[in-house]
Structure 1
Amino acid sequence: MLEYPVVLVVVFVLNISGLFIAGLAALIMARDLEAWKLRLDVILATILYVGFLFGFVNVLVQFWVLRLKGPLYVAMFKPLTIIIAMIMGVLFLGDPVYLRSVLGGSIITIGFYGVLWGKGKEDEEGALSARTTTTPLLEPHDALEDGS
């Protein structure tokens, strides 16, 4: 972000990477060509609605967090998507919930947020030491964006 601070390009590359991985997984999982044909029905309307609405909201949140905190914090929404997907699957699809899934997801989420907490503490300490030094790499993210 320090060398190339264009937020739009960073979010674009992140989303294209996700699209590539999801597309590759879809090609592996759905080999039947009939599954790839589009029909004008409720399923197509649902796909378009979810794609535009949540894709747009996702990009807006990523822009906001990237401008507010920096690139590491954009990833903090990934564990939330795991939790939201599990809840939606249980409520709307009737998926069973297994203890091992809950424990595994909890361990991943706690570990990830532990890393973010540590990064936040590191940023606070870096901001304090940046006031006493003139090294630009130790300045807070906001100061680098403002050019101060």
Structure 2
Amino acid sequence: MPSASIISDFQRSSSNSSLSSSLLLAACQQYDINELSYCFDHQQKLSSPPPSLLSSSTYDSIGKRSQNMTECVPVPSSEHVAEIVGRQGCKIKALRTKTNTYIKTPVRGDQPVFIITGRKEDVYLAKKEIVSAAEHFSQIRA
């Protein structure tokens, strides 16, 4: 599990609406990346199991609002990031609009991990698109 200092640092940074990618990556690395179905569900405690292991709904207890969640999506390399983002960010902007999510793109030199925030079903769709694009790029480069 993430250490208490990482959690408190994350909570401080997320309350300022500026997610620190290094804190997110540090916390995400605490989970097996192949089993990773989410990094943080903003409505749950960090110590709780991933939503995929729970029979949780995307709606809160009142049933009116969808919960936002954040998920880390690793890709093989910075070349994959460039291909997914597109020239001047045109592809990632289109994906953000299509899926109604916020997608933080990795900075060159950092680990190639996209951070997606939005409703559970929207995040799933964006993740699926990014993984598909990364696989396609790997196939045409091979």
User: Which category of TM-score, normalised to the shorter sequence, fits these structures?
Assistant: under 0.3
Length-normalised TM-score, structure 1: 0.25
Q: If each structure's helix is expressed as a fraction of its own residues, which one has the higher value? A: 1
